[in-house]
Amino acid sequence: MNAWSRVALAGALLLLLRQGVALRADQFDPQRLPPMVEEVFAPGPTTDEFDARDFPSLPPDPYAAESEALPPLGDELFWHGGSYLYEPEGEQLNWPDECEDAHFDLLRLPETWEKPRPVEGFAEFLGADMVQVYPHLHWKNGYDWEPRFVGYGRYQVFGLAFEEGGAEQYGVGHQLLVELDLRLTGTERFHVQYRPLGRQNTGGSFYQFNDPSGYNDNSTGAPDRYWVEGELHSVLGGFLDPFSVCDYHFVAGRFPFALHNNLLINTDLLGVVANKNTIYLGNLSNLNVQLFAAREDVAAFVDSNAGVYGAHVTADYRRVFYEATYAFAQNLNDASRSAHYAAVSRTQLWGAWVFAGRALAKLGDEGGRGDGGLFVLESNRTFVLDTQPLGVESAVVYCNAYYSTTGWNSISGGGFDRLRSAFEVNPLVTISSRNPVSDNRGISLGVQ
């Protein structure tokens, strides 16, 4: 159909409409409709014509004898919904009656109760307050500071009863831990940790009842740990090319340091650690390199402190975590006691299980114990308990196999608490903290 045909057809339709082909309302007669159409326009029944008895009855409930009548909604919410916990009025308004045989605890807290918070300054700790802006606080030509100070701590009281090698020790003691944290930015922080009642991981001061009886005073006024951490780009970004790679992190001061699940070293270093993260090499993901150096004050030898230097590398490859470490422990008084350490570890998740294999070796130490090694297979699984007896929320079941030679000793186990490690039944902790003088092999099973 061409364009002229379309125009002619449209004109014919318009002419028919103008001549009144459409029905007018006054010409409509329902009596002249066909039967099928008449049924559609027929008026429906009124409400009075309906009767519920006209509907068929439902079949009986086969479980009616076993069902219990539902209580009123208010009682259900009161006794089982915990609504009394959310009533704002009164001290004990809407609490369940204590005379009733209730199966739940009364958990409601007073309206004035607030969760204990640490000592805070400049900003709240994990708070939702606005970010405070200080125009005059910033790095030179760099990022603004967002200062936040947090101080917190805890006080502990303990009792001990210990017997080893025919020697007995009974007593009670206490420990105070105080930690101060000052954040300048998201990456620059200053930390100070005090243990005024238990210096250098002694565990605290205590009074001993048996001979020799008396008070063992391990108190000190000096902080145990103090360090600063930061990022090169954040501190010096105003003087560097904005496109240069500057995501190098550093830690300097006296800080805790542990490698290979505390088996190679677990102590406090007085030195510096430099780190470069997110190095992509081949198929490795997130290669991390750490360089550490501590000139002195490392308790690596019985008769002398040591300087420790080395490198630690971690990487992810095909969902497996690898660690490799080289370290040199320098005896400051006797060069023949210095030793080289090398360690590798492989950790993999298998469902809820964690498996790890570790091999650690020591070379040198001609003037001491000589060469040695430690080989460990670790496995553990965490169980989250449905019920929480005595407040225990989870448990870790572990099974470890180990073998250490006569010459093996860790670089330093000074980070283990002396009082608590005395009661430690895990042989790996004993090997790393006490340096046994003979070969050790075995399997350990336990739950934490």
Would you state the pLDDT for residue 378? 94
b/e string for 34-58 if b means 16 or more Cβ within 10 A?
A: eeeeeeeeeeeeeeeeeeeeeeeee
Q: Would you place residue 366 in the very low, low, confident or very high pLDDT band (cuts 50, 70, 90)?
A: confident
The two tokens of residue 102 are 């209730």
Instruction: Decide: 230 and 187 in contact? Cβ < 8 Å.
Output: yes
The two tokens of residue 203 are 């565990």
DSSP code at position 123 = B
User: What tens digit of pLDDT does each residue of 170-216 get?
Assistant: 889 999 999 999 998 888 999 999 999 888 778 888 888 887 888 88
3-state helix, strand, coil in the chain (%, to 5): 15, 40, 40
Q: Does pLDDT of 426 surpass 70?
A: yes
Contacts of 174 (CB under 8 A, 6+ apart): 155, 156, 157, 158, 197, 204, 205, 206
DSSP code at position 197 = T
Would you state the pLDDT for residue 311? 96
Q: Would you place residue 309 in the very low, low, confident or very high pLDDT band (cuts 50, 70, 90)?
A: very high
DSSP code at position 107 = -
User: Residue 347: which of 309, 316, 312 has the closest Cα?
Assistant: 316
Q: Does pLDDT of 6 surpass 70?
A: no
Would you state the pLDDT for residue 322? 94
Amino acid residing at 143: Y
Q: Would you place residue 50 in the very low, low, confident or very high pLDDT band (cuts 50, 70, 90)?
A: low
Winning range, highest mean pLDDT, from 20-34, 49-63, 203-217, 258-272 = 258-272
Would you state the pLDDT for residue 226? 93
**Stretch 314-340: mean pLDDT, rounded?**
90
For 330, the 3-state DSSP assignment is strand
Contacts of 378 (CB under 8 A, 6+ apart): 261, 354, 355, 356, 357, 358, 398, 400
User: Mean pLDDT over all residues of the chain?
Assistant: 79
Q: Does pLDDT of 343 surpass 70?
A: yes
Q: Where are the beta strands (DSSP E) in 10-116?
A: none
Amino acid residing at 238: G
DSSP code at position 72 = P
Q: What are phi and psi of 433, to 5 degrees?
A: -100, -30
Would you state the pLDDT for residue 303? 72
Q: Would you place residue 132 in the very low, low, confident or very high pLDDT band (cuts 50, 70, 90)?
A: confident
Q: What are phi and psi of 383, to 5 degrees?
A: -115, 125
Q: Does pLDDT of 411 surpass 80?
A: yes
Would you state the pLDDT for residue 18? 55
More confident residue, 212 or 357: 357
User: What tens digit of pLDDT does each residue of 59-109 get?
Assistant: 888 887 777 777 787 777 666 665 555 554 444 545 555 555 554 455 556
Instruction: Sort strands 214-216 and 205-208 into parallel, antiparallel or unpaired.
Output: antiparallel
**Stretch 130-158: mean pLDDT, rounded?**
85
Instruction: Decide: 287 and 324 in contact? Cβ < 8 Å.
Output: no
Instruction: Decide: 418 and 431 in contact? Cβ < 8 Å.
Output: no
User: Residue 265: which of 208, 202, 328, 321 has the closest Cα?
Assistant: 328
User: Residue 415: which of 270, 267, 202, 294 has the closest Cα?
Assistant: 267
Lowest mean pLDDT among 18-32, 78-92, 257-271: 18-32
b/e string for 389-410 if b means 16 or more Cβ within 10 A?
A: eeeeeeeeebebebebbebbbb
Lowest mean pLDDT among 30-39, 180-189, 240-249, 392-401: 30-39
Q: Does pLDDT of 390 surpass 70?
A: yes
Q: Does pLDDT of 29 surpass 80?
A: no
Would you state the pLDDT for residue 328? 93
Would you state the pLDDT for residue 377? 95
Winning range, highest mean pLDDT, from 39-43, 79-83, 136-140, 415-419 = 136-140
CA distance 248 to 58: 76
For 132, the 3-state DSSP assignment is coil
More confident residue, 426 or 289: 289
Give how far Cα 273 sits from Cα of 247, 322, 365, 389, 448, Å.
Answer: 14, 20, 25, 43, 32
H or E stretch covering 419: helix 418-421
User: Residue 287: which of 321, 247, 244, 249 has the closest Cα?
Assistant: 321
